[in-house]
Amino acid sequence: MTGLSYARTGGLASRGERALPALFAFTDPARTPDPLALAERLGPGTGLILRHFGRENIRALAAPLAQMARRQGFLLFVAADPALALQVKADGVHWPERHLGDIRRWRRRAPHFLVTASAHSAAALRRAAGLADGVFLSPVFASNSPSAGAPLGLLRASSMARQVAGPVLALGGVEIDDLPALQARGFYGAGAVEAFSLS
């Protein structure tokens, strides 16, 4: 059953008729053991970023996720794999900070894709904002992600978010209920892993 929807109006980054969602779920090999079960809870105004980290069955997983996205109205982004995104007709591609240099080349090949990127510093945020439709700044809060560094903190992160023109989304230790407060501080939206976990 589709339960989680989120709509935001005004100032939307968009490509064609698709607006960038303000709320994203991220998959993770350990913390999202069943991405299909997670996707069943998503609806219009939300996005799902499929991060595969070398997962063997990623192609078999991406196709049904793309079908669910079209049926339920959420947007599917594939992380760092535009070829797979094209194959399954996903809505966009998400690029980790280390792959920012790949964005321009792939945008020429697939200009219809929405593009998000990750950034972990002010310099990376400025660079990513000039390349992507939206940037995830992280970690804003303390995170259980194995790759997360020290949290930026809300005051510093919100100051950084206000210094770039494009949409900036908070990531790292974010709860879904944090979204209104984050938007009040200048964030376009947010992404999370554990906040979407099924109990």
CATH code at 106? 3.20.20.70
User: 101 is in which domain, residue-wise?
Assistant: 14-196
Q: Is residue 4 part of a domain?
A: no
Mean of the per-residue pLDDT values of the chain: 89
In a domain, 54, yes or no: yes
CB 140 within 8 A of CB 175: no
pTM score: 0.91
pLDDT above 70 covers what percent of the chain? 88
Q: Looking at the predicted structure, is the pLDDT value of residue 101 above 90?
A: yes
DSSP H or E run through 87: helix 82-88
User: Is 178 domain-assigned?
Assistant: yes
Mean pLDDT to the nearest integer, 117-124: 97
- pLDDT at site 4: 65
Residue 11: which pLDDT band, with cuts at 50, 70 and 90? very low
The predicted structure's pLDDT at residue 1: 38
**Would 3 be classed as within a structural domain?**
no
Residue 6 lies in a domain: no
**Tally of domains within the chain:** 1
Q: Is residue 116 part of a domain?
A: yes
Angstrom distance (rounded) from CA 50 to CA 187 = 22
Domain assignment present for residue 85? The answer is yes
